[in-house]
């Protein structure tokens, strides 16, 4: 089963969450159905209409939202008061605002990080998890992003590191942080394009033939907020998401993982599942990191379909 046909939201709005932030939210699907929340990646990526289509609109009440600083949330690309704790609190505020009792959390990459952090803070509000491309924000995972991916995509890494002066290449995260937060648009936009181009080039088993820069409208929020979180180690305690699993591992979990996911290698997904009895790990043999690769896309839809009978409403 592939993605469901396109459909539109029946409600949307901007929720004030404090610190001058407004977050965009939308609801689609069955107004009386069990709730599923799409937790997007990045941090800083935002949502898109295609993401509704992982879910059966005749069954689920579907919640999409843009985290602080990205997508349609405002102010755009802001790292002010933007931490994991803030995002977890925003999710809980949104849940209460929408009158949701409990929801299934669906997230990939950073979305898996935030879904686990929220679940451990509010386990009573969760019915289960469908996750992809597990990222636990440990130092070795960040180091892998900054340099390890270059072992598989050396040309992309050369473009990424080559944007920096030679004397700054020993600490690319700090160097990119300076540029991404520079007030001059010619500086921060150029750095954002290179950062996002690097990640995009490494995100698929079969990357596009030519992908030198990430030129999407969300490139600044993606790059600036992602680097902000990396500098601060995800605003998490060491191994926080593994040591806190006791609060949520009674809930159902399915993980969909591309075998050749270079951004979030399968070892982390396997580690999480080993610590979660009864969880399901589906390795997709012909996929990388992107949720939209065919095998991953189909497996995610199937995982959500299977949750119809596994969750307790």
pLDDT digits (tens, 9 = 90+) for 1-32: 899 999 999 999 999 999 999 999 999 999 99
pTM of the model: 0.97
73, 188, 289, 290: the catalytic one is: 289
Q: Phi/psi class of residue 297: alpha, beta or left (left: φ > 0; alpha: ψ in -120 to 50)?
A: alpha
* Residue 147 a catalytic site member: no
- Domain spanning 11-136+236-307: CATH 3.30.160.340: no
Q: Is 171 a catalytic residue?
A: no
Report the distance separating Cα 146 and Cα 108, nearest Å: 19
In the chain, domain spans = 11-136+236-307, 139-234
For residue 217, pLDDT over 90 is answered with no
Active-site residue, 40 included: no
Q: Among positive and negative, which fits the CA dihedral 220, 223, 226, 227?
A: negative
Beta strand residue intervals within the chain, DSSP E: 11-18, 21-29, 35-39, 61-65, 103-108, 126-132, 253-258, 280-284
pLDDT at 212 over 60: no
Of the candidates 109, 203, 221, 279, the residue annotated as catalytic is: 109
Query: What's residue 313's pLDDT?
Result: 63
- Percent of the chain predicted with pLDDT > 70: 97
Average pLDDT of the chain is 96
Q: For residue 75, give the DSSP letter.
A: S
Q: Which of 228, 261, 279, 290 is catalytic?
A: 261
Which residue from 241, 114, 142, 256 is spatially nearest to 199, judged by alpha carbons? 142
Write the pLDDT tens digit of every residue in 105-144. Answer: 999 999 999 999 999 999 999 999 999 999 999 999 999 9
Helical spans, DSSP H, in 78-171: 84-97, 110-121, 139-146, 154-162
The rounded Cα 19 to chain-centroid distance in angstroms is: 22
Q: If you average pLDDT over residues 253-268, what whole number do you get?
A: 98
| Residue in the structure block whose two tokens are 């290179």 | 194
């Amino acid at each position: 089963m592939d993605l469901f046909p396109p459909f539109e939201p029946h409600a949307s709005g901007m929720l004030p969450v404090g610190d001058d932030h407004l977050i965009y939210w939308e609801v689609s699907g069955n107004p009386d159905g069990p709730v599923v929340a799409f937790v997007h990646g990045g941090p800083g990526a935002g949502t898109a209409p295609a993401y509704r289509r992982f879910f059966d609109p005749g069954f689920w009440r579907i919640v999409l939202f843009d985290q602080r600083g990205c997508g349609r949330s405002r102010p755009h690309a802001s790292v002010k008061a933007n931490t994991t704790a803030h995002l977890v609190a925003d999710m809980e505020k949104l849940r209460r605002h929408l009158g949701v009792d409990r929801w299934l959390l669906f997230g990939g990459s950073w979305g898996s990080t935030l879904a686990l952090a929220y679940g451990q803070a509010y386990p009573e509000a969760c019915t289960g998890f469908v996750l992809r491309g597990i990222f636990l924000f440990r130092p070795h995972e960040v180091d892998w992003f900054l340099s390890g991916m270059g072992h598989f995509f050396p040309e992309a890494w050369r473009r990424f590191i080559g944007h920096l002066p030679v004397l700054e290449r020993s600490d690319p995260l700090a160097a990119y942080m300076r540029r991404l937060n520079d007030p001059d648009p010619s500086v921060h936009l150029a750095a954002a394009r290179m950062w996002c181009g690097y990640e995009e080039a490494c995100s698929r088993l079969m990357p596009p033939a030519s992908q030198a820069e990430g030129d999407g409208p969300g490139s600044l929020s993606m790059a600036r907020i992602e680097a902000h979180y990396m500098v601060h180690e995800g605003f998490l305690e060491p191994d926080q998401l593994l040591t806190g699993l006791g609060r949520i591992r009674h809930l159902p979990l399915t993980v969909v993982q591309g075998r050749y996911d270079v951004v979030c290698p399968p070892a982390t997904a396997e580690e999480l599942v080993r610590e979660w009895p009864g969880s399901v790990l589906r390795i997709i043999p012909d996929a990388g990191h992107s949720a939209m690769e065919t095998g991953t896309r189909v497996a995610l839809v199937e995982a959500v379909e299977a949750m119809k009978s596994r969750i307790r409403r």
